[in-house]
Amino acid sequence: MTARIDPALWPRVSAAFDAALELPTTERERWLREQSPDLVEPLRTMLQAHDGTAELPALSALHELQSELPPVPLARPGQRIGPYRLIERLGGGGMAEVWGAAQVTGPMAGRHVALKLPRPDPRLGERLRDEHALLLGMEHPHIARLYDAGEDQGQAWLALEWINGQPIHRALADQPVRQRLVTFLQVLDAVRYAHARLVLHADLKPANILVGPDGRVKLLDFGIARLLHGTGPRAFTPGLAAPEQQRGETLTVATDVYGLGGVLAAVVPEAQRSRALAAVIARAQAELPAARYANVQALADDIHRLLDHRPVAAMAGARTYQLLCGLRRHRWPVLGVVALCAGLAAALWQADNARREAHRAEVANHYLLDLFKTLDRRAPDAADPAAALHRLLTERAARIEAALPEDPDTADALLRITATLHDYLGDARRSRELGERRYEALKARHGLRNERTQLAGMALVWPTLAGHDPGAARRLLDELNTALPDRGLMRAEWLLARHELREREGAPAEEREALLRQALVRYAADAPDDSGHAATWLALSELLATTGRTPEALAAVDQALVQVPRAQPYIASDHARQLLHRASLGAPSATADEAQALQLLRGSVGLRAPFVRRALTALVARRCRVDAPAANALASEAGLPGCAPVP
């Protein structure tokens, strides 16, 4: 007869059991003796069942599937399953075990994976196939990737991305609450992505959400997931499942919202919660699904409100709280008569500042319009607008430097425009000269801690790198590192630039990959729509491709292409480079990608822009192998060498 556990003990037993599995086997008995007496026997029985020496106790009528199953035969380190060799047991539950494994055959030999092995029951094998089908459509940076699936002598298996990380509540335990909320937004993004593909996770808990050393979140274990409005197993994690899940009712998006509330409660313990955060968690975990957030986006919106010190929707009726939020966001003007005077002074200053800004904008607009008006259709370079613009820029920059306006801010704006245009025209030397002048002037006026100085410094990094002067680039990055904040767009750009520098210095791929992944964390948290976000995914894809990790490289460039439509600013040449890179990896869409990339380039910077030269050279080489005349025509248009003559 299978033992049963008192339902009142489920939450405590479940949490204690998860903790016990992380202990070495030799320490578990000592640990058991230290537990509450009412937990000892249930835990001992469950651990014995886990080790294959006893039957698993039934946790509820809804767990009949698990309680009927025989003990799991122990897998062994070194055992071969499919093309994989088991290395170490990573964990397990009532329906499956997960092993770290290495691929030993095939083109990806040496790759490490998490190998999921269901217990030997046809129903669980079917669930694994369902999980496989659900994950096939999932490509998201915060969802563990599916690599492969199969069966070996009756043992079904699923090969997933092996995540080197800790459960989210442990990984963030020492972080400030604000940083925990920022990281939690990654979880929400992953679940929102799944819901957009009509997939419910149905088992959201800290153990299924790992955070790696680089701060990236990975959502795991879609073992009991199901399609929205579809069916799935009536299994759940006691103490963590939504009320409707425990009752065996239909599951909806609200079920995952409840699970996310539980994860957030574990990430930020009760003693560390503000009143607003407590209200957010309470709403996410409301008893009735209709009383919860309508969807994951609504929960994410309230987290963003918390981070911005704005009133959360979960406390919409609390007027005093809303007033306090307003005071916190605008606390300095609330100073009585002093505030009135200060406000008047500020208003006058802002009006004067607005006039200055308007003047600077007018000068800059006049500069650009006048520049284009001077494009002479009769000039020898009229047929080549890029060459004509380059000539005019050189002439205009010399005039600017000879007679800069007295207003230093207007002079700065003109130098910034001219340096940027030189950069886009491929004249890194001239862009660097102007950028250095601008950076030094701002540093002298405002100091290194000033945001404008830092922006000028980051803008200077790229032409310095393009000028093949890694020593100067390193000195500049080191100087900026002492002043830049740890978070924000400029820190993300700094990490991307640091990767570029280390690449030029011949740093190991592992170090460069770590820098790129840190940059992706910052972009995702602080500037998800900045064009640098997509550029970083492309850089990661190019790096992965050079190390032979083609499937991962394809996934990374696909993520770049997901980002680029909403990138600010949208840069057509960057979009083209991403498409050409995906084509170079042998993607099924290669022909369409190449055609779209050439269309984008012809409609923007042309095929002779220096920063697309490498990608177009590779494209010409690929076409030389299949259609030499077409390749030579493209090479001629791009100003590149054509196909080598056949001996």
Q: What is the pLDDT of residue 527?
A: 87
End-to-end CA distance of the chain: 82
Q: Report the distance separating Cα 224 and Cα 27, nearest Å.
A: 31
The CA R_g of the chain, rounded to the nearest whole Å, is 30
Q: Is residue 443 part of an annotated ligand binding site?
A: no
CA torsion, points 480, 486, 487, 488, in degrees to nearest 10?
-10
pLDDT per position as a tens digit, 326-353: 544 444 333 333 333 334 334 333 444 4
Output the average pLDDT for the chain.
75
The CATH code belonging to domain 80-161 is 3.30.200.20
Provide φ and ψ at 375, rounded to 5°. Answer: -70, 110
User: Where would I find the H helices in 231-335?
Assistant: 243-246, 253-267, 275-284, 296-307, 319-329
Helix (H, G, I), strand (E, B) or coil at 68: helix
Q: At what angle do helices 470-481 and 451-466 cross, to 10 degrees?
A: 160
In this prediction, residue 21 has a pLDDT band, given cuts at 50, 70 and 90, of low
Question: Residue 199 is encoded by which pair of tokens?
Answer: 């997939």
DSSP code, position 285: T
Range with the poorest average pLDDT among 195-204, 389-398, 488-497: 389-398
Q: Report the distance separating Cα 255 and Cα 261, nearest Å.
A: 10
Of the candidates 500, 570, 494, the residue with the CA atom closest to the CA atom of residue 531: 570
In this prediction, residue 613 has a pLDDT band, given cuts at 50, 70 and 90, of confident
Q: Which residues pair with 232 in a beta bridge?
A: none
Question: Residue 19 is encoded by which pair of tokens?
Answer: 């903790």
Q: What is the pLDDT of residue 214?
A: 80
Q: What is the pLDDT of residue 327?
A: 43
Provide φ and ψ at 4, rounded to 5°. Answer: -125, 150
Q: What is the pLDDT of residue 97?
A: 78
Residues 6+ apart with CB under 8 A from 430: 394, 397, 419, 422
Burial label, 171 (beta-carbon count in 10 A; 0-12, 13-18, 19+): buried
Sole residue written with tokens 């439509």 = 565
As a residue count, the chain comes to 647
pLDDT reading at 7 higher than 70: no
Q: At what angle do helices 253-267 and 296-307 cross, to 10 degrees?
A: 30
pLDDT reading at 597 higher than 80: yes
Q: What is the pLDDT of residue 164?
A: 82
pLDDT reading at 371 higher than 90: no
Residues 6+ apart with CB under 8 A from 491: 484, 485, 522, 526
Mean pLDDT for the stretch of residues 156-168: 84
Burial label, 419 (beta-carbon count in 10 A; 0-12, 13-18, 19+): buried
Sole residue written with tokens 């149905």 = 202
pLDDT reading at 113 higher than 60: yes
Check residue 423 and give left, alpha or beta (phi > 0: left; psi -120 to 50: alpha): alpha
Question: Residue 243 is encoded by which pair of tokens?
Answer: 């009320």
Do 118 and 96 contact (CB within 8 A), yes or no? yes
Provide φ and ψ at 148, rounded to 5°. Answer: -165, 165
Of the candidates 475, 539, 494, 549, the residue with the CA atom closest to the CA atom of residue 109: 549
Answer with the residue of higher pLDDT: 56 or 310.
310
The string of DSSP letters for 537-599 reads HHHHHHHHHHTT-HHHHHHHHHHHHHHGGG-BS--HHHHHHHHHHHHHTT-TTHHHHHHHHHH
Q: What is the pLDDT of residue 536?
A: 93
Q: What is the pLDDT of residue 535?
A: 92
Q: Report the distance separating Cα 317 and Cα 334, nearest Å.
A: 23
Provide φ and ψ at 433, rounded to 5°. Answer: -60, -50
Q: What is the pLDDT of residue 599?
A: 85
pLDDT reading at 491 higher than 80: yes
Question: Residue 392 is encoded by which pair of tokens?
Answer: 């005019």
Half-sphere exposure of 161 (CA within 13 A, CB side): 24
Q: What is the pLDDT of residue 329?
A: 46
pLDDT per position as a tens digit, 569-579: 777 888 889 99
Order the strands of the 209-211 sheet from edge to edge: 166-167, 209-211, 217-219
Q: What is the pLDDT of residue 33?
A: 82
DSSP code, position 287: S
pLDDT per position as a tens digit, 187-236: 998 888 887 766 787 788 888 899 988 888 998 876 554 444 444 444 45
User: Where would I find the H helices in 374-407?
Assistant: 385-402
Do 535 and 497 contact (CB within 8 A), yes or no? no
Order the strands of the 80-81 sheet from edge to edge: 80-81, 84-92, 96-103, 112-118, 155-161, 146-152
Burial label, 497 (beta-carbon count in 10 A; 0-12, 13-18, 19+): buried
pLDDT reading at 478 higher than 60: yes
Please state, for a pLDDT cut of 70, what percent of the chain lies above it: 68
Mean pLDDT for the stretch of residues 33-48: 76
Answer with the residue of higher pLDDT: 57 or 364.
364
Q: What is the pLDDT of residue 125?
A: 56
Torsion sign (Cα): 363, 365, 368, 372:
negative
Q: Report the distance separating Cα 403 and Cα 421, nearest Å.
A: 20
pLDDT per position as a tens digit, 122-132: 555 565 566 56
Pairing mode, strands 146-152 and 155-161: antiparallel
Residues 6+ apart with CB under 8 A from 287: 243
Question: Residue 579 is encoded by which pair of tokens?
Answer: 């498409």
In this prediction, residue 118 has a pLDDT band, given cuts at 50, 70 and 90, of confident
Q: What is the pLDDT of residue 614?
A: 86
pLDDT reading at 253 higher than 90: no
Burial label, 329 (beta-carbon count in 10 A; 0-12, 13-18, 19+): exposed
In this prediction, residue 116 has a pLDDT band, given cuts at 50, 70 and 90, of confident
| Domain boundaries along the sequence of the chain | 7-59, 80-161, 166-329, 345-484
Q: Report the distance separating Cα 479 and Cα 438, nearest Å.
A: 16
The CATH code belonging to domain 166-329 is 1.10.510.10
Range with the poorest average pLDDT among 81-85, 487-491, 566-570: 566-570
Do 463 and 432 contact (CB within 8 A), yes or no? yes
Range with the poorest average pLDDT among 171-180, 188-197, 340-349, 602-611: 340-349
Which of 9-23, 349-363, 419-433, 478-492 has the highest mean predicted lDDT (pLDDT)? 478-492
Provide φ and ψ at 89, rounded to 5°. Answer: -80, 125
Q: What is the pLDDT of residue 543?
A: 94
Cβ neighbours around 577 below 10 Å, total: 24
Q: What is the pLDDT of residue 481?
A: 92
pLDDT per position as a tens digit, 286-303: 999 999 998 898 999 899
pLDDT reading at 502 higher than 50: yes
Torsion sign (Cα): 28, 29, 30, 34:
positive
pLDDT per position as a tens digit, 271-290: 898 889 999 999 999 999 99
Q: What is the pLDDT of residue 181?
A: 92
Do 407 and 356 contact (CB within 8 A), yes or no? yes
Cβ neighbours around 274 below 10 Å, total: 12
